[in-house]
């Protein structure tokens, strides 16, 4: 039995050079996911803070209006349409790396959802804690930074990891712009050897392992933060 699986693996990924497609596809998928999530965290945090500040103090009215338009447009349109617009319209007449286009598209998309995750996390912290911090003389910004945000981060970790997983799986649509990511790598191998089941099972297993590791990492971070909270 093991000899059969080994022979099929050797035939699909070694003899036919399938490993080269998989390696390039996996590398592109991980790079795009990492930098898109990083961009999404930064953008989402800024937008979430603007929205939360407006809701609590009614300041930053113009910025809040801009953020609401951004959230409405991005969350109201499919990510594949956003990818097409960025690649074929925004950068249609410019030679630009497809990896950069992918990072921008998924980063902008992810940022809209991360913003709402951050905002929900801040709202989940008891309002009495902000009032207590302000009554002790802390400015709004410092009270937010020292009291509210550390608790909000603990709350949002599961939702953030879930969003990262969604971004990872969304990279499979990059075939639309000819980007060699993991799913397209599987398609290219199948086009050469016509062994669909074995290739797609391998691709699915690779996605599963990455997502499983992300989930485990999320639980580890949650436990560490919870232990730190208990010691404090």
- Cβ–Cβ < 8 Å for 189, 12: yes
The boundaries of the domain holding residue 119 are 2-231
Domain count, the chain: 1
Question: By C-alpha distance, which of 108, 38, 78 is closest to 173?
Answer: 78
Task: Supply the DSSP symbol for 181.
Answer: -
% residues pLDDT > 70 (the chain) = 89
CATH number at residue 10: 1.10.3720.10
Q: Can you say how many angstroms the Cα of residue 125 is from the centroid of all Cα atoms in its chain? A: 24
Task: Supply the DSSP symbol for 94.
Answer: S
- Cβ–Cβ < 8 Å for 124, 154: no
232: pLDDT strictly greater than 50: no
Q: Average of pLDDT values for 202-227?
A: 85
Q: Which residue has the tokens 């302000």?
A: 134
Question: By C-alpha distance, which of 166, 208, 171 is closest to 25?
Answer: 171
- Cβ–Cβ < 8 Å for 148, 120: no
134 pLDDT band (50/70/90 cuts)?
A: confident
Question: By C-alpha distance, which of 61, 37, 64 is closest to 119?
Answer: 64
Q: What is the pLDDT of residues 29-76, one digit of tens each?
A: 999 999 999 999 999 999 999 998 888 888 889 999 999 999 999 999
């Amino acid at each position: 039995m093991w000899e059969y699986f080994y022979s099929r693996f050797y035939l699909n990924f070694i003899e036919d050079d399938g490993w080269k497609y998989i390696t390039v596809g996996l590398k592109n998928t991980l790079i795009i996911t990492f930098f898109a999530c990083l961009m999404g965290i930064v953008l989402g945090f800024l937008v979430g803070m603007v929205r939360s500040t407006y809701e609590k103090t009614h300041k930053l009215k113009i910025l809040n209006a801009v953020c609401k338009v951004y959230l409405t447009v991005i969350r109201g349109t499919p990510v594949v349409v956003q990818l097409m617009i960025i690649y074929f319209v925004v950068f249609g007449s410019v030679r630009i790396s497809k990896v950069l286009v992918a990072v921008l598209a998924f980063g902008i998309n992810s940022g809209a959802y991360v913003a709402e995750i951050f905002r929900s996390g801040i709202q989940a912290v008891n309002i009495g804690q902000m009032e207590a911090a302000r009554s002790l003389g802390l400015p709004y910004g410092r009270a937010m930074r020292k009291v509210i945000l550390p608790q909000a981060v603990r709350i949002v970790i599961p939702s953030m990891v879930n969003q990262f997983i969604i971004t990872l799986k969304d990279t499979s649509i990059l075939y639309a712009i000819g980007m060699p990511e993991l799913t397209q790598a599987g398609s290219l191998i199948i086009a050469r050897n016509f062994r669909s089941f074995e290739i797609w099972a391998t691709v699915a297993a690779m996605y599963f392992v990455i997502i499983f590791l992300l989930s485990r990492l999320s639980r580890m971070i949650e436990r560490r933060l919870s232990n730190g909270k208990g010691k404090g």
